[in-house]
């Protein structure tokens, strides 16, 4: 079996001019507010970091935890992720069509958007800076195993790696493998094991030993 597969379905209808114009407006507004003393850039960075790593991904963590603990929900998630995610109240822009892909001992999934930075906002919040970077977007397709290693993840050589390319029409959510030793965990405890990177595929879920007592 090939070491990795790249699933590319790009029919990108992005209005890049609109995106760049929006980003420029945001930066201009940030500059004005900072110059007038209304905004502390450090506080703004901290707020963005919170949404990137904590608030947004908590939604996805709830989805994964429910899938781990409820086999019927897991089946619904893998069959129609958009509808299953909506059951938990997570809907909205950038989440109109989400596909869940499941990690197994035989297959590890990773998500990228090679043309820009499509990302399932309702379940993962804001995309991290590295996800939008050109090196990640180009290298993860060509050498996913090396990119994983840079994130601190080493998989068995016989584990196939599949790279899914998000588009304007489809975004992907990785359902990571449930860690060993979590059989007696509640959904809330399970959610604490789920990291943002594990739902992108650049990381694994935490083990129970990694959670502070």
pLDDT in tens, 92-108: 665 568 999 999 999 99
Range of lowest pLDDT (43-47, 117-121, 154-158, 203-207): 43-47
Q: What is the pLDDT averaged over residues 146-165?
A: 96
pLDDT beyond 70 at 40? yes
Q: Which two tokens stand for residue 201?
A: 């595929």
Distance CA 159, CA 140 (A): 16
Nearest C-alpha neighbor of 200 from the set 106, 128, 141, 135: 128
Q: Which of 117, 166, 182, 198 is catalytic?
A: 117
Residue reference for tokens 């990119």: 147
Q: What is the pLDDT of residues 54-93, one digit of tens each?
A: 567 899 999 999 999 999 999 999 999 999 999 998 866 6
Q: Out of 17, 20, 118, 138, pick the active-site residue.
A: 118
Q: Is 186 annotated as a binding residue?
A: no
Given the residues 17, 20, 113, 166, the one annotated as active site: 113
With bands split at pLDDT 50, 70 and 90, how would you rate the model's confidence at 213? low
69 has catalytic annotation? no
> How far is it, in rounded angstroms, from Cα 208 to Cα 180?
8
- Asked whether residue 18 carries a pLDDT value surpassing 50, the answer given is no
Is 20 known to sit in a ligand binding site? no
SS3 of 171, please? strand
Domains and CATH numbers, the chain: 4-8+15-210 (3.90.330.10)
User: For this structure, is 116 an active site residue?
Assistant: yes
Q: What is the rounded distance in angstroms from the CA atom of residue 118 to the CA atom of residue 116?
A: 6
Coil, strand or helix: which one is 169?
coil
Q: Which of 17-21, 24-28, 123-127, 134-138 has the lowest mean pLDDT?
A: 17-21
* pLDDT at residue 189, rounded to an integer: 95
3-state secondary structure of 196: helix
Given a cut of 60, whether residue 197 has pLDDT beyond it is: yes
Provide the sign of the torsion angle of the four alpha carbons 116, 120, 125, 130, taken in this order: negative
pTM equals 0.77
Res 11: pLDDT: 44
- The whole-number pLDDT of residue 133 equals 93
69 is in an annotated binding site: no
């Amino acid at each position: 079996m090939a070491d990795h597969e790249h699933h590319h379905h790009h029919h990108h209808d992005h209005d890049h001019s609109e995106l760049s114009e929006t980003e420029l407006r945001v930066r201009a507004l940030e500059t004005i507010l900072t110059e007038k003393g209304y905004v502390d850039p450090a506080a703004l960075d901290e707020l963005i970091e919170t949404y990137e790593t904590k608030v947004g991904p908590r939604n996805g963590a709830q989805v994964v935890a429910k899938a781990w603990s409820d086999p019927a929900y897991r089946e619904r998630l893998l069959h129609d992720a958009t509808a299953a995610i909506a059951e938990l109240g997570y809907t909205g822009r950038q989440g109109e069509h989400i596909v869940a892909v499941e990690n197994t001992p035989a297959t590890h999934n990773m998500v990228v958007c090679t043309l820009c930075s499509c990302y399932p906002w309702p379940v993962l919040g804001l995309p991290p800076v590295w996800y939008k970077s050109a090196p990640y977007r180009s290298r993860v397709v060509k050498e996913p195993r090396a990119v994983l290693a840079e994130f601190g993840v080493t998989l068995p050589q016989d584990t196939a790696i599949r790279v899914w390319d998000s588009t304007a029409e489809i975004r992907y959510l990785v359902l990571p493998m449930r860690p060993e030793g979590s059989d007696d965990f509640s959904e809330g405890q399970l959610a604490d094991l789920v990291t943002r990177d594990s739902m992108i595929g650049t990381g694994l879920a935490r083990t129970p030993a990694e959670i502070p007592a």
